[in-house]
A and B are shown apart, each in its own frame.
Chain A
Amino acid sequence: MKSYSQQSGEIGEFSDLPFWKKANSVDLAYVTYGLLVVTLVIASYLLGAFKLLPHDPQDIDLELMMAPPLTPKHVLGTDFMGRDMLSRLVVGIQAYFLPGLLAIFIALFLGTILGVLAGYRGGKFDTVITYLTNLIDSFPRLVLILLVIAAFKPDIYVIMLVVGITNVPAVASLVKGKILFLKQKNFIEADIALGLPTGTIILKHILWHNCRSILIIQATLGMAEAILMETSLSYLGFGVQEPTPSWGNMVLAGSNYFMKGQFWPSTAPALAILFTILGFHLLGDGLNNILEGKRDK
Protein backbone atom coordinates (compact mmCIF):
# COMPACT_ATOMS: atom_id res chain seq x y z
CA MET A 1 0.00 0.00 0.00
CA LYS A 2 1.30 3.37 -0.90
CA SER A 3 1.81 4.83 2.52
CA TYR A 4 0.48 8.31 2.70
CA SER A 5 3.38 10.07 4.22
CA GLN A 6 5.06 13.05 2.75
CA GLN A 7 7.65 15.02 4.52
CA SER A 8 5.60 17.94 5.61
CA GLY A 9 7.88 19.02 8.39
CA GLU A 10 11.40 20.20 7.93
CA ILE A 11 11.10 23.83 8.81
CA GLY A 12 14.53 25.01 7.83
CA GLU A 13 15.98 27.20 10.53
CA PHE A 14 14.14 28.17 13.65
CA SER A 15 15.32 31.74 13.43
CA ASP A 16 13.56 34.60 15.15
CA LEU A 17 13.09 36.70 12.04
CA PRO A 18 9.45 37.22 11.03
CA PHE A 19 8.61 35.04 8.04
CA TRP A 20 8.30 37.90 5.57
CA LYS A 21 11.92 38.83 6.19
CA LYS A 22 13.19 35.31 5.65
CA ALA A 23 11.09 34.82 2.54
CA ASN A 24 12.26 34.73 -1.01
CA SER A 25 11.10 37.74 -3.04
CA VAL A 26 9.49 35.49 -5.64
CA ASP A 27 7.36 33.85 -2.96
CA LEU A 28 6.36 37.25 -1.63
CA ALA A 29 5.28 38.25 -5.14
CA TYR A 30 3.22 35.05 -5.43
CA VAL A 31 1.56 35.67 -2.07
CA THR A 32 0.88 39.32 -2.83
CA TYR A 33 -0.85 38.47 -6.09
CA GLY A 34 -2.76 35.68 -4.37
CA LEU A 35 -3.95 37.94 -1.55
CA LEU A 36 -5.03 40.52 -4.11
CA VAL A 37 -7.17 37.90 -5.83
CA VAL A 38 -8.64 36.69 -2.53
CA THR A 39 -9.54 40.25 -1.56
CA LEU A 40 -11.14 40.88 -4.95
CA VAL A 41 -13.16 37.67 -4.74
CA ILE A 42 -14.43 38.42 -1.25
CA ALA A 43 -15.21 42.04 -2.11
CA SER A 44 -17.04 40.99 -5.28
CA TYR A 45 -18.95 38.36 -3.38
CA LEU A 46 -20.14 40.96 -0.89
CA LEU A 47 -20.99 43.44 -3.66
CA GLY A 48 -23.01 40.74 -5.40
CA ALA A 49 -24.69 39.63 -2.20
CA PHE A 50 -25.83 43.18 -1.40
CA LYS A 51 -26.77 43.88 -5.03
CA LEU A 52 -24.37 46.80 -5.33
CA LEU A 53 -23.79 46.36 -9.05
CA PRO A 54 -23.41 48.81 -11.92
CA HIS A 55 -26.25 47.04 -13.76
CA ASP A 56 -28.80 44.32 -13.16
CA PRO A 57 -27.03 41.18 -14.42
CA GLN A 58 -30.28 40.00 -16.02
CA ASP A 59 -31.00 43.29 -17.78
CA ILE A 60 -31.27 42.57 -21.51
CA ASP A 61 -30.35 45.42 -23.84
CA LEU A 62 -30.88 44.35 -27.44
CA GLU A 63 -29.63 47.71 -28.67
CA LEU A 64 -26.19 47.06 -27.27
CA MET A 65 -25.24 43.45 -27.85
CA MET A 66 -21.65 42.22 -27.98
CA ALA A 67 -20.23 45.55 -26.90
CA PRO A 68 -16.44 45.39 -26.58
CA PRO A 69 -14.72 46.25 -23.30
CA LEU A 70 -14.42 49.93 -22.32
CA THR A 71 -17.79 50.83 -23.85
CA PRO A 72 -19.29 53.79 -21.94
CA LYS A 73 -21.37 52.51 -18.99
CA HIS A 74 -20.17 48.93 -19.63
CA VAL A 75 -16.54 48.70 -18.55
CA LEU A 76 -16.18 45.07 -19.58
CA GLY A 77 -18.64 45.23 -22.45
CA THR A 78 -21.82 43.23 -22.85
CA ASP A 79 -22.65 39.68 -23.87
CA PHE A 80 -24.75 38.36 -26.74
CA MET A 81 -27.96 39.55 -25.10
CA GLY A 82 -26.62 42.94 -24.15
CA ARG A 83 -26.25 42.03 -20.48
CA ASP A 84 -23.51 43.82 -18.58
CA MET A 85 -20.44 41.59 -18.43
CA LEU A 86 -18.92 43.05 -15.26
CA SER A 87 -22.12 42.61 -13.27
CA ARG A 88 -22.49 39.03 -14.49
CA LEU A 89 -18.90 38.20 -13.60
CA VAL A 90 -19.36 39.63 -10.12
CA VAL A 91 -22.61 37.75 -9.55
CA GLY A 92 -20.99 34.58 -10.96
CA ILE A 93 -18.90 34.40 -7.79
CA GLN A 94 -22.07 33.53 -5.83
CA ALA A 95 -22.11 30.21 -7.65
CA TYR A 96 -18.95 28.93 -6.00
CA PHE A 97 -18.16 31.09 -2.97
CA LEU A 98 -20.28 29.58 -0.17
CA PRO A 99 -20.28 26.05 -1.64
CA GLY A 100 -16.48 26.30 -1.93
CA LEU A 101 -16.19 27.27 1.73
CA LEU A 102 -18.28 24.21 2.61
CA ALA A 103 -15.92 21.98 0.59
CA ILE A 104 -12.91 23.48 2.38
CA PHE A 105 -14.49 23.07 5.78
CA ILE A 106 -15.27 19.39 5.16
CA ALA A 107 -11.81 18.66 3.80
CA LEU A 108 -10.04 20.36 6.70
CA PHE A 109 -12.32 19.02 9.41
CA LEU A 110 -12.39 15.37 8.35
CA GLY A 111 -8.81 15.47 7.08
CA THR A 112 -7.51 16.76 10.40
CA ILE A 113 -9.41 14.18 12.42
CA LEU A 114 -8.27 11.30 10.23
CA GLY A 115 -4.72 12.63 10.07
CA VAL A 116 -4.46 12.95 13.85
CA LEU A 117 -5.92 9.47 14.37
CA ALA A 118 -3.54 7.94 11.84
CA GLY A 119 -0.47 9.81 13.03
CA TYR A 120 -1.03 10.04 16.79
CA ARG A 121 -2.71 6.71 17.45
CA GLY A 122 -1.27 4.81 14.49
CA GLY A 123 -1.63 1.02 14.40
CA LYS A 124 -5.04 -0.21 13.29
CA PHE A 125 -6.34 3.33 12.85
CA ASP A 126 -3.52 4.02 10.43
CA THR A 127 -4.26 0.87 8.39
CA VAL A 128 -7.97 1.65 8.14
CA ILE A 129 -7.41 5.31 7.30
CA THR A 130 -4.79 4.51 4.66
CA TYR A 131 -7.29 2.10 3.13
CA LEU A 132 -10.05 4.73 3.12
CA THR A 133 -7.85 7.43 1.59
CA ASN A 134 -6.66 5.01 -1.09
CA LEU A 135 -10.28 4.14 -1.76
CA ILE A 136 -11.25 7.76 -2.28
CA ASP A 137 -8.19 8.34 -4.44
CA SER A 138 -9.23 5.47 -6.70
CA PHE A 139 -11.95 7.55 -8.32
CA PRO A 140 -11.37 10.30 -10.83
CA ARG A 141 -13.05 13.20 -9.03
CA LEU A 142 -15.25 14.24 -11.92
CA VAL A 143 -16.46 10.67 -12.48
CA LEU A 144 -17.40 10.36 -8.82
CA ILE A 145 -19.26 13.66 -9.04
CA LEU A 146 -21.12 12.54 -12.16
CA LEU A 147 -22.09 9.37 -10.29
CA VAL A 148 -23.45 11.44 -7.42
CA ILE A 149 -25.26 13.72 -9.86
CA ALA A 150 -26.90 10.69 -11.46
CA ALA A 151 -27.95 9.39 -8.05
CA PHE A 152 -29.12 12.66 -6.52
CA LYS A 153 -30.13 15.93 -8.10
CA PRO A 154 -27.29 18.07 -9.50
CA ASP A 155 -27.23 20.25 -6.39
CA ILE A 156 -24.13 22.39 -5.89
CA TYR A 157 -23.93 21.72 -2.15
CA VAL A 158 -24.04 17.95 -2.69
CA ILE A 159 -21.34 18.31 -5.34
CA MET A 160 -19.16 20.38 -3.00
CA LEU A 161 -19.64 17.77 -0.29
CA VAL A 162 -18.05 15.31 -2.70
CA VAL A 163 -15.28 17.78 -3.61
CA GLY A 164 -14.59 18.24 0.09
CA ILE A 165 -14.47 14.51 0.75
CA THR A 166 -12.13 13.91 -2.18
CA ASN A 167 -9.77 16.52 -0.70
CA VAL A 168 -9.70 14.73 2.67
CA PRO A 169 -6.86 12.30 1.75
CA ALA A 170 -4.45 15.12 0.91
CA VAL A 171 -5.14 16.97 4.19
CA ALA A 172 -5.02 13.77 6.24
CA SER A 173 -1.69 12.72 4.74
CA LEU A 174 -0.11 16.11 5.42
CA VAL A 175 -1.32 16.21 9.03
CA LYS A 176 -0.18 12.64 9.57
CA GLY A 177 3.22 13.37 8.01
CA LYS A 178 3.64 16.37 10.28
CA ILE A 179 2.80 14.35 13.40
CA LEU A 180 5.22 11.59 12.43
CA PHE A 181 7.86 14.26 11.96
CA LEU A 182 7.13 15.72 15.39
CA LYS A 183 7.29 12.26 16.93
CA GLN A 184 10.76 11.79 15.47
CA LYS A 185 11.86 14.93 17.25
CA ASN A 186 10.73 13.48 20.61
CA PHE A 187 8.48 16.47 20.85
CA ILE A 188 5.31 14.64 21.71
CA GLU A 189 7.13 12.31 24.07
CA ALA A 190 8.29 15.33 26.02
CA ASP A 191 4.72 16.60 26.21
CA ILE A 192 3.53 13.28 27.56
CA ALA A 193 6.39 13.21 30.08
CA LEU A 194 5.27 16.63 31.27
CA GLY A 195 1.89 15.07 31.98
CA LEU A 196 -0.09 17.31 29.66
CA PRO A 197 -3.62 16.14 28.83
CA THR A 198 -3.95 14.54 25.38
CA GLY A 199 -6.42 17.23 24.31
CA THR A 200 -3.89 19.99 24.95
CA ILE A 201 -1.14 18.12 23.15
CA ILE A 202 -3.25 17.50 20.05
CA LEU A 203 -5.21 20.73 19.85
CA LYS A 204 -2.65 23.22 21.04
CA HIS A 205 0.82 21.78 20.54
CA ILE A 206 0.22 19.75 17.40
CA LEU A 207 -2.61 21.39 15.50
CA TRP A 208 -2.38 25.02 16.51
CA HIS A 209 1.38 25.43 16.73
CA ASN A 210 2.49 23.05 14.00
CA CYS A 211 -0.35 22.32 11.58
CA ARG A 212 -1.85 25.81 11.27
CA SER A 213 0.13 26.71 8.18
CA ILE A 214 -0.47 23.47 6.27
CA LEU A 215 -4.19 23.82 6.95
CA ILE A 216 -4.20 27.39 5.62
CA ILE A 217 -2.31 26.25 2.54
CA GLN A 218 -4.72 23.37 1.99
CA ALA A 219 -7.67 25.74 2.37
CA THR A 220 -6.26 27.94 -0.41
CA LEU A 221 -5.61 25.04 -2.74
CA GLY A 222 -9.04 23.62 -1.85
CA MET A 223 -10.72 26.85 -2.98
CA ALA A 224 -8.90 26.61 -6.33
CA GLU A 225 -10.17 23.04 -6.62
CA ALA A 226 -13.73 24.10 -5.77
CA ILE A 227 -13.71 26.89 -8.36
CA LEU A 228 -12.34 24.52 -10.98
CA MET A 229 -15.05 21.96 -10.20
CA GLU A 230 -17.91 24.45 -10.09
CA THR A 231 -16.94 26.09 -13.39
CA SER A 232 -16.34 22.71 -15.06
CA LEU A 233 -19.71 21.40 -13.92
CA SER A 234 -21.64 24.48 -14.95
CA TYR A 235 -19.79 24.27 -18.25
CA LEU A 236 -21.03 20.68 -18.56
CA GLY A 237 -24.55 21.91 -17.79
CA PHE A 238 -24.89 20.45 -14.28
CA GLY A 239 -24.33 23.53 -12.21
CA VAL A 240 -26.07 26.89 -12.18
CA GLN A 241 -28.45 27.27 -15.12
CA GLU A 242 -28.90 30.22 -17.46
CA PRO A 243 -29.97 33.00 -16.99
CA THR A 244 -28.31 32.93 -13.54
CA PRO A 245 -24.66 33.57 -14.30
CA SER A 246 -21.79 31.31 -13.34
CA TRP A 247 -18.38 31.61 -14.97
CA GLY A 248 -18.69 28.11 -16.39
CA ASN A 249 -22.08 28.54 -18.02
CA MET A 250 -21.04 31.97 -19.34
CA VAL A 251 -18.17 30.32 -21.23
CA LEU A 252 -20.60 27.73 -22.56
CA ALA A 253 -23.21 30.30 -23.60
CA GLY A 254 -20.60 32.35 -25.42
CA SER A 255 -19.13 29.36 -27.23
CA ASN A 256 -21.42 29.61 -30.28
CA TYR A 257 -20.17 33.12 -30.90
CA PHE A 258 -16.58 32.09 -30.33
CA MET A 259 -16.48 30.03 -33.53
CA LYS A 260 -17.83 33.02 -35.45
CA GLY A 261 -14.87 35.05 -34.30
CA GLN A 262 -16.61 36.95 -31.48
CA PHE A 263 -14.41 35.88 -28.63
CA TRP A 264 -15.34 38.20 -25.78
CA PRO A 265 -18.46 36.55 -24.25
CA SER A 266 -16.51 33.32 -23.67
CA THR A 267 -13.15 34.88 -23.04
CA ALA A 268 -14.13 37.28 -20.26
CA PRO A 269 -15.36 34.55 -17.88
CA ALA A 270 -12.54 32.23 -18.97
CA LEU A 271 -10.00 34.89 -18.01
CA ALA A 272 -11.80 35.41 -14.72
CA ILE A 273 -11.41 31.67 -14.03
CA LEU A 274 -7.78 31.75 -15.13
CA PHE A 275 -6.69 34.68 -12.96
CA THR A 276 -8.67 33.54 -9.92
CA ILE A 277 -7.40 29.96 -9.94
CA LEU A 278 -3.89 31.23 -10.66
CA GLY A 279 -4.19 33.50 -7.62
CA PHE A 280 -5.20 30.68 -5.28
CA HIS A 281 -2.49 28.37 -6.64
CA LEU A 282 0.23 31.00 -6.27
CA LEU A 283 -0.99 31.93 -2.80
CA GLY A 284 -0.92 28.27 -1.75
CA ASP A 285 2.49 27.54 -3.21
CA GLY A 286 4.00 30.83 -2.02
CA LEU A 287 2.75 30.23 1.53
CA ASN A 288 4.02 26.67 1.33
CA ASN A 289 7.51 27.90 0.45
CA ILE A 290 7.48 30.61 3.10
CA LEU A 291 5.78 28.90 6.04
CA GLU A 292 6.94 25.35 5.46
CA GLY A 293 10.36 26.31 4.15
CA LYS A 294 10.14 24.45 0.90
CA ARG A 295 11.93 26.59 -1.61
CA ASP A 296 14.18 24.73 -3.99
CA LYS A 297 17.43 26.39 -4.82
Chain B
Amino acid sequence: MKLTAIRPVGIVLVRELSLTMLLLLGVSALVFLILYLSPGDPFSVLLEGQSLSEEARSGIRQAMGIERSWYGQYFHWVSGMVRGDFGASVRTGLPVLSEVLRTGINTLILTLGSLLVTLLIAAPIAIRSAMRGMSKATWSFTILSYVISALPVFWLGYIVIYFFTHKLGLFPLAFGFATGAKKWLYLLLPIFVLGIGNGTISEVIRTLREEMGRVMEEDYIRTARAKGASVWKHAFKEGFLIPVTEIIAAKIPFILGGAVIVEQVFNWPGMGRMAWQAAQDRDYPVIMGIAIVAAVLVRLGSLFQSVVYVMVNPRASKE
Protein backbone atom coordinates (compact mmCIF):
# COMPACT_ATOMS: atom_id res chain seq x y z
CA MET B 1 0.00 0.00 0.00
CA LYS B 2 1.30 3.45 -0.85
CA LEU B 3 1.89 6.03 1.82
CA THR B 4 -0.96 8.16 0.55
CA ALA B 5 -3.34 5.30 1.23
CA ILE B 6 -2.05 4.68 4.74
CA ARG B 7 -2.08 8.26 5.95
CA PRO B 8 -5.83 8.83 6.14
CA VAL B 9 -6.21 5.54 8.02
CA GLY B 10 -3.51 6.65 10.44
CA ILE B 11 -5.18 9.99 11.06
CA VAL B 12 -8.53 8.37 11.71
CA LEU B 13 -7.00 5.65 13.86
CA VAL B 14 -5.39 8.21 16.15
CA ARG B 15 -8.58 10.28 16.33
CA GLU B 16 -10.84 7.30 16.96
CA LEU B 17 -8.48 5.74 19.48
CA SER B 18 -8.39 8.90 21.57
CA LEU B 19 -12.16 9.08 21.34
CA THR B 20 -12.43 5.44 22.41
CA MET B 21 -10.24 6.18 25.41
CA LEU B 22 -12.41 9.14 26.33
CA LEU B 23 -15.56 7.05 26.06
CA LEU B 24 -14.08 4.21 28.09
CA LEU B 25 -13.20 6.70 30.81
CA GLY B 26 -16.87 7.75 30.79
CA VAL B 27 -17.92 4.09 30.84
CA SER B 28 -15.83 3.43 33.94
CA ALA B 29 -17.23 6.55 35.62
CA LEU B 30 -20.80 5.47 34.86
CA VAL B 31 -20.25 1.93 36.13
CA PHE B 32 -18.66 3.30 39.28
CA LEU B 33 -21.47 5.81 39.75
CA ILE B 34 -24.17 3.13 39.55
CA LEU B 35 -22.48 1.00 42.17
CA TYR B 36 -21.57 3.99 44.29
CA LEU B 37 -25.23 5.00 44.46
CA SER B 38 -26.33 1.51 45.43
CA PRO B 39 -27.26 0.82 49.03
CA GLY B 40 -24.36 -0.84 50.85
CA ASP B 41 -21.01 -1.68 49.30
CA PRO B 42 -19.45 -4.88 47.91
CA PHE B 43 -18.49 -5.93 51.38
CA SER B 44 -21.97 -5.81 52.79
CA VAL B 45 -22.59 -8.90 50.62
CA LEU B 46 -19.62 -10.63 52.15
CA LEU B 47 -20.70 -9.69 55.64
CA GLU B 48 -24.37 -10.45 55.13
CA GLY B 49 -25.87 -12.36 57.99
CA GLN B 50 -22.90 -11.83 60.25
CA SER B 51 -23.34 -9.54 63.19
CA LEU B 52 -20.01 -7.82 63.46
CA SER B 53 -19.15 -4.76 65.40
CA GLU B 54 -18.58 -1.55 63.49
CA GLU B 55 -14.90 -1.81 64.38
CA ALA B 56 -14.53 -5.28 62.85
CA ARG B 57 -16.37 -4.14 59.73
CA SER B 58 -14.07 -1.21 59.15
CA GLY B 59 -11.14 -3.51 59.87
CA ILE B 60 -12.20 -5.82 57.05
CA ARG B 61 -12.69 -2.87 54.72
CA GLN B 62 -9.22 -1.63 55.56
CA ALA B 63 -7.75 -5.07 54.97
CA MET B 64 -9.39 -5.27 51.54
CA GLY B 65 -7.86 -1.96 50.63
CA ILE B 66 -10.90 0.24 50.30
CA GLU B 67 -10.47 3.95 50.75
CA ARG B 68 -13.05 6.08 52.39
CA SER B 69 -13.61 8.88 49.89
CA TRP B 70 -15.37 8.24 46.58
CA TYR B 71 -12.58 9.68 44.45
CA GLY B 72 -10.08 7.54 46.29
CA GLN B 73 -12.16 4.44 45.57
CA TYR B 74 -12.61 5.40 41.91
CA PHE B 75 -8.94 6.16 41.40
CA HIS B 76 -7.96 2.92 43.15
CA TRP B 77 -10.31 0.92 40.90
CA VAL B 78 -9.35 2.59 37.60
CA SER B 79 -5.61 2.49 38.26
CA GLY B 80 -6.00 -1.18 39.14
CA MET B 81 -7.77 -1.84 35.85
CA VAL B 82 -5.07 -0.05 33.88
CA ARG B 83 -2.55 -2.37 35.49
CA GLY B 84 -4.75 -5.34 34.59
CA ASP B 85 -6.06 -5.85 38.11
CA PHE B 86 -9.87 -5.94 38.08
CA GLY B 87 -10.07 -7.14 41.67
CA ALA B 88 -11.25 -10.54 42.84
CA SER B 89 -14.69 -12.11 42.79
CA VAL B 90 -16.45 -11.70 46.12
CA ARG B 91 -17.93 -15.17 45.76
CA THR B 92 -15.07 -17.32 44.51
CA GLY B 93 -12.05 -15.17 45.35
CA LEU B 94 -10.64 -15.73 41.86
CA PRO B 95 -9.17 -12.73 39.98
CA VAL B 96 -11.86 -11.15 37.81
CA LEU B 97 -9.79 -10.38 34.73
CA SER B 98 -8.57 -13.90 34.05
CA GLU B 99 -12.05 -15.31 34.69
CA VAL B 100 -13.69 -12.79 32.37
CA LEU B 101 -11.11 -13.43 29.65
CA ARG B 102 -11.53 -17.20 29.99
CA THR B 103 -15.31 -17.01 29.58
CA GLY B 104 -15.08 -14.06 27.22
CA ILE B 105 -13.42 -16.22 24.54
CA ASN B 106 -16.48 -18.50 24.53
CA THR B 107 -18.79 -15.50 24.28
CA LEU B 108 -16.71 -14.04 21.46
CA ILE B 109 -16.99 -17.30 19.49
CA LEU B 110 -20.73 -17.32 20.07
CA THR B 111 -21.17 -13.64 19.17
CA LEU B 112 -19.04 -13.56 16.04
CA GLY B 113 -20.42 -16.89 14.85
CA SER B 114 -24.01 -15.74 15.19
CA LEU B 115 -23.24 -12.41 13.48
CA LEU B 116 -21.98 -14.47 10.58
CA VAL B 117 -25.17 -16.57 10.60
CA THR B 118 -27.32 -13.42 10.61
CA LEU B 119 -25.40 -11.95 7.69
CA LEU B 120 -25.41 -15.21 5.71
CA ILE B 121 -29.19 -15.28 5.97
CA ALA B 122 -29.87 -11.56 5.53
CA ALA B 123 -27.37 -10.59 2.83
CA PRO B 124 -28.61 -12.86 -0.01
CA ILE B 125 -32.23 -11.79 0.59
CA ALA B 126 -31.31 -8.10 0.74
CA ILE B 127 -29.05 -8.20 -2.32
CA ARG B 128 -31.56 -10.15 -4.37
CA SER B 129 -34.41 -7.80 -3.60
CA ALA B 130 -32.22 -4.72 -4.19
CA MET B 131 -30.92 -5.90 -7.54
CA ARG B 132 -33.99 -7.63 -8.95
CA GLY B 133 -36.79 -5.81 -7.15
CA MET B 134 -39.26 -7.39 -4.77
CA SER B 135 -40.54 -10.73 -5.98
CA LYS B 136 -42.99 -13.07 -4.28
CA ALA B 137 -40.10 -15.02 -2.78
CA THR B 138 -38.40 -11.95 -1.32
CA TRP B 139 -41.74 -10.74 0.05
CA SER B 140 -42.34 -13.97 1.89
CA PHE B 141 -38.77 -13.87 3.21
CA THR B 142 -39.33 -10.32 4.42
CA ILE B 143 -42.50 -11.26 6.29
CA LEU B 144 -40.79 -14.34 7.67
CA SER B 145 -37.88 -12.20 8.87
CA TYR B 146 -40.32 -10.03 10.84
CA VAL B 147 -41.76 -13.10 12.54
CA ILE B 148 -38.30 -14.47 13.29
CA SER B 149 -37.19 -11.15 14.74
CA ALA B 150 -40.06 -11.27 17.22
CA LEU B 151 -39.32 -14.85 18.33
CA PRO B 152 -38.32 -15.09 21.99
CA VAL B 153 -34.82 -16.49 21.67
CA PHE B 154 -35.14 -18.76 24.72
CA TRP B 155 -38.14 -20.54 23.25
CA LEU B 156 -36.35 -20.97 19.92
CA GLY B 157 -33.53 -22.49 21.97
CA TYR B 158 -35.90 -25.04 23.53
CA ILE B 159 -37.28 -26.06 20.16
CA VAL B 160 -33.82 -26.54 18.73
CA ILE B 161 -32.61 -28.46 21.78
CA TYR B 162 -35.68 -30.68 21.76
CA PHE B 163 -35.47 -31.60 18.10
CA PHE B 164 -31.75 -31.82 17.54
CA THR B 165 -30.66 -33.20 20.89
CA HIS B 166 -33.57 -35.16 22.32
CA LYS B 167 -35.30 -36.40 19.19
CA LEU B 168 -32.50 -36.79 16.70
CA GLY B 169 -29.63 -37.23 19.15
CA LEU B 170 -27.35 -35.34 16.78
CA PHE B 171 -25.77 -33.14 19.38
CA PRO B 172 -24.40 -33.79 22.85
CA LEU B 173 -26.59 -32.69 25.76
CA ALA B 174 -24.28 -30.10 27.21
CA PHE B 175 -20.98 -28.43 26.59
CA GLY B 176 -18.87 -30.54 28.91
CA PHE B 177 -20.45 -33.91 28.01
CA ALA B 178 -18.66 -34.50 24.76
CA THR B 179 -15.07 -34.56 23.67
CA GLY B 180 -13.24 -33.91 20.43
CA ALA B 181 -15.26 -33.30 17.32
CA LYS B 182 -18.62 -33.60 19.09
CA LYS B 183 -17.72 -30.76 21.43
CA TRP B 184 -17.28 -28.48 18.46
CA LEU B 185 -20.51 -29.75 16.98
CA TYR B 186 -22.24 -28.55 20.12
CA LEU B 187 -21.01 -25.03 19.44
CA LEU B 188 -23.12 -24.88 16.30
CA LEU B 189 -26.51 -25.03 18.04
CA PRO B 190 -26.27 -21.87 20.18
CA ILE B 191 -24.52 -20.00 17.37
CA PHE B 192 -27.36 -20.89 15.03
CA VAL B 193 -30.05 -20.02 17.60
CA LEU B 194 -28.51 -16.65 18.49
CA GLY B 195 -27.84 -15.88 14.82
CA ILE B 196 -31.50 -16.38 13.97
CA GLY B 197 -33.13 -15.23 17.18
CA ASN B 198 -31.18 -12.11 18.12
CA GLY B 199 -34.05 -10.00 16.85
CA THR B 200 -32.06 -8.04 14.30
CA ILE B 201 -32.58 -10.02 11.08
CA SER B 202 -35.46 -7.94 9.72
CA GLU B 203 -33.60 -4.72 10.48
CA VAL B 204 -30.40 -6.00 8.87
CA ILE B 205 -32.27 -7.02 5.73
CA ARG B 206 -33.98 -3.63 5.55
CA THR B 207 -30.80 -1.62 6.06
CA LEU B 208 -28.84 -3.65 3.53
CA ARG B 209 -31.63 -3.44 0.97
CA GLU B 210 -32.01 0.33 1.39
CA GLU B 211 -28.28 0.98 1.10
CA MET B 212 -27.84 -1.39 -1.81
CA GLY B 213 -30.91 0.06 -3.53
CA ARG B 214 -29.61 3.61 -3.08
CA VAL B 215 -26.24 2.69 -4.62
CA MET B 216 -27.90 0.86 -7.51
CA GLU B 217 -29.45 4.15 -8.62
CA GLU B 218 -26.14 6.02 -8.69
CA ASP B 219 -24.80 7.23 -12.00
CA TYR B 220 -21.62 5.20 -11.82
CA ILE B 221 -23.61 1.99 -11.59
CA ARG B 222 -25.58 3.00 -14.67
CA THR B 223 -22.29 3.66 -16.46
CA ALA B 224 -20.93 0.30 -15.39
CA ARG B 225 -24.06 -1.40 -16.59
CA ALA B 226 -23.96 0.49 -19.91
CA LYS B 227 -20.41 -0.57 -20.67
CA GLY B 228 -21.13 -4.12 -19.63
CA ALA B 229 -18.90 -4.19 -16.55
CA SER B 230 -19.83 -6.15 -13.43
CA VAL B 231 -22.41 -4.18 -11.49
CA TRP B 232 -21.76 -6.17 -8.35
CA LYS B 233 -18.04 -5.36 -8.43
CA HIS B 234 -18.78 -1.65 -8.67
CA ALA B 235 -21.50 -1.65 -6.06
CA PHE B 236 -19.64 -3.86 -3.60
CA LYS B 237 -17.69 -1.26 -1.62
CA GLU B 238 -20.37 1.34 -1.07
CA GLY B 239 -23.43 -0.84 -1.32
CA PHE B 240 -22.25 -3.83 0.67
CA LEU B 241 -18.97 -3.45 2.55
CA ILE B 242 -19.78 -0.17 4.32
CA PRO B 243 -23.34 -1.08 5.39
CA VAL B 244 -22.21 -4.52 6.57
CA THR B 245 -19.46 -3.12 8.78
CA GLU B 246 -21.89 -0.50 10.06
CA ILE B 247 -24.37 -3.23 10.95
CA ILE B 248 -21.71 -5.31 12.66
CA ALA B 249 -20.65 -2.33 14.77
CA ALA B 250 -24.23 -1.37 15.60
CA LYS B 251 -25.46 -4.87 16.42
CA ILE B 252 -22.63 -6.06 18.67
CA PRO B 253 -24.36 -4.71 21.81
CA PHE B 254 -27.64 -6.45 20.89
CA ILE B 255 -25.94 -9.74 20.19
CA LEU B 256 -23.90 -9.56 23.40
CA GLY B 257 -27.18 -9.01 25.25
CA GLY B 258 -28.80 -11.92 23.46
CA ALA B 259 -25.77 -14.02 24.38
CA VAL B 260 -26.71 -13.66 28.07
CA ILE B 261 -29.96 -15.50 27.40
CA VAL B 262 -28.65 -18.04 24.91
CA GLU B 263 -25.78 -18.97 27.22
CA GLN B 264 -28.35 -19.53 29.95
CA VAL B 265 -30.49 -21.78 27.73
CA PHE B 266 -27.55 -23.81 26.41
CA ASN B 267 -25.52 -23.86 29.59
CA TRP B 268 -22.74 -22.20 27.66
CA PRO B 269 -19.75 -21.31 29.86
CA GLY B 270 -19.50 -17.71 28.68
CA MET B 271 -19.37 -14.17 29.94
CA GLY B 272 -23.16 -13.70 29.79
CA ARG B 273 -23.78 -16.61 32.12
CA MET B 274 -21.14 -15.23 34.41
CA ALA B 275 -22.88 -11.84 34.37
CA TRP B 276 -26.15 -13.56 35.28
CA GLN B 277 -24.51 -15.38 38.17
CA ALA B 278 -22.82 -12.19 39.34
CA ALA B 279 -26.12 -10.30 39.28
CA GLN B 280 -27.71 -13.04 41.38
CA ASP B 281 -24.89 -13.00 43.91
CA ARG B 282 -24.46 -9.23 43.78
CA ASP B 283 -20.83 -9.98 42.99
CA TYR B 284 -19.78 -6.38 42.29
CA PRO B 285 -16.20 -6.81 41.03
CA VAL B 286 -17.28 -9.45 38.50
CA ILE B 287 -20.23 -7.55 37.05
CA MET B 288 -18.15 -4.35 36.91
CA GLY B 289 -15.40 -6.18 35.06
CA ILE B 290 -17.86 -7.71 32.60
CA ALA B 291 -19.53 -4.36 31.93
CA ILE B 292 -16.14 -2.81 31.18
CA VAL B 293 -15.03 -5.68 28.92
CA ALA B 294 -18.36 -5.63 27.06
CA ALA B 295 -18.06 -1.87 26.52
CA VAL B 296 -14.50 -2.36 25.22
CA LEU B 297 -15.81 -4.92 22.72
CA VAL B 298 -18.54 -2.54 21.54
CA ARG B 299 -16.03 0.30 21.15
CA LEU B 300 -13.60 -1.94 19.23
CA GLY B 301 -16.46 -2.78 16.86
CA SER B 302 -17.09 0.86 16.09
CA LEU B 303 -13.34 1.52 15.77
CA PHE B 304 -13.19 -1.28 13.19
CA GLN B 305 -16.10 0.30 11.35
CA SER B 306 -14.48 3.75 11.13
CA VAL B 307 -11.22 2.24 9.86
CA VAL B 308 -13.00 0.27 7.13
CA TYR B 309 -14.98 3.36 6.22
CA VAL B 310 -11.86 5.45 5.75
CA MET B 311 -10.08 2.75 3.80
CA VAL B 312 -12.98 2.69 1.35
CA ASN B 313 -13.46 6.43 1.37
CA PRO B 314 -10.20 8.26 2.29
CA ARG B 315 -11.85 11.68 2.02
CA ALA B 316 -13.66 10.98 5.28
CA SER B 317 -10.43 11.50 7.25
CA LYS B 318 -10.54 15.22 6.48
CA GLU B 319 -13.90 15.81 8.10
Contacts and interface: CB of A to CB of B under 8 A. Distances in A.
Interface of A: 1-2, 131, 134-135, 137-144, 146-152, 154, 224, 228, 231-232, 235-238, 248, 251-252, 255, 258-259, 261, 266-267, 270, 273-275, 277-278, 281-282, 296-297
Contact of B34 (A140, A147, A277): A147
Given A140-B254, A143-B256, A258-B162, A266 B298 contact: no
26 contacts: A1-B19, A135-B26, A135-B27, A139-B294, A140-B252, A140-B253, A140-B257, A140-B298, A141-B257, A142-B261, A143-B257, A143-B272, A143-B291, A146-B276, A151-B34, A151-B38, A154-B279, A236-B260, A236-B261, A236-B264, A252-B154, A259-B166, A273-B152, A274-B147, A281-B149, A296-B213
Contacts of B31: 147
B265 to A, nearest CB: 9
Interface residues of B, number: 62
Given A131-B26, A251-B155, A146 B287 contact: yes
Main secondary structure of the interface of B (DSSP, over half): helix
Nearest to B26: A135
Nearest to B275: A146
A297 B214 CA distance: 11
Given A146-B287, A151-B37, 8 more contacts: A139-B294, A140-B298, A146-B279, A232-B154, A261-B162, A266-B155, A278-B146, A296-B210
A177 to B, nearest CB: 15
Contacts of B147: 274, 278
A190 to B, nearest CB: 29
A267 B150 contact: no
Contacts of B299: 138
A236 B287 CA distance: 16
Nearest to B261: A232
B124 interface: no
Contacts of A135: 23, 26-27, 30
A137 B158 contact: no
Interface in B127-165: 133-134, 146-147, 149-152, 154-155, 158, 161-162
Nearest to B154: A235
B199 interface: yes
B166 A231 contact: no
